[in-house]
Amino acid sequence: MINNFLAKTDWRRPVIHLICALPAIWLGHQMWLWYSFAPHQLSANPIEYITDFTGGWTVRFLLITLTITPLAKLTKWRMLKYRRAVGLYAFFYALLHFLNYMVLDYFFDWELIIEDIFKRPAITFGMLAFTMLIPLAVTSFKFMMKKMGKNWQKLHQTLYTLTIFAIIHNYMMVKADVLIPLIHAMILSVLLGYRVYLNYKKRKIRSKNQIA
């Protein structure tokens, strides 16, 4: 009976959720230590640290989400069913990033926030990326997928564009070393290149079929 249960249960899903949630759990613990005046690892400037930490994980999860499809195609591993969950973690970390900026950094000072969004190009790119993520998160559920049909795929292809905006924001925001955003940009270029190659192959097969 236990064997039957284990065979039917997808144990990978909770493991993936746990791994994706680990950075947030660690951050929550460190914030609790900071709040309790106990030694913590959020540096001398915890608010800045939290912004960089959540922003960094947002970019990582965006890139991991985009990597799942090519990796599944190349390795034939059945991992596409986890793409949605990983993508939602990108949104979750982006939301934490934005909330930290809005609540802890700017303390709901809307005038300053709006001025920041329109006057600092780096923040404009970050806001663009975050705003574009919202419809993707809202429509990520199966019933929306069915309801939207082909439009769902079109909408979810904007993930590439918003990741470009996110990396530009990351590049402009970084204080010390631009190496990390440059590595992110290189990974994204490879993923985009693969996508263009797949589209080209698909179009070639379609035109061959039409001639035949």
Where do contacts with ligand HEM occur on this chain (CB under 6 A)?
48, 51-52, 55-56, 58-59, 94, 97-98, 101, 117, 123, 126-127, 129-130, 133, 166, 169-170, 173-175
Residue nearest to ligand HEM (CB): 55
Query: Token pair for residue 28?
Result: 């929550």
User: Shortest approach of ligand HEM to residue 21 CB, angstroms?
Assistant: 18
Q: Distance between the two ends of the chain, CA-based, in angstroms?
A: 54
Of the candidates 128, 137, 130, which has an alpha carbon nearest to the alpha carbon of residue 155? 137
User: Shortest approach of ligand HEM to residue 156 CB, angstroms?
Assistant: 15
**In the block, residue with structure tokens 């204080």:** 175
Residue 72 or 191: the one with the smaller Cβ distance to ligand HEM is 191
CA-derived radius of gyration, the chain: 20
Residue 82 or 93: the one with the smaller Cβ distance to ligand HEM is 93
Residue 83 or 97: the one with the smaller Cβ distance to ligand HEM is 97
**What is the Cα–Cα distance from 92 to 21, expressed in whole angstroms?**
10
**Residue 60, Cα to own-chain centre: how many angstroms?**
6
Residue 72 or 160: the one with the smaller Cβ distance to ligand HEM is 160
Rounded to the nearest 10°, the torsion over CA 21, 25, 26, 30 is 150
User: Shortest approach of ligand HEM to residue 60 CB, angstroms?
Assistant: 9
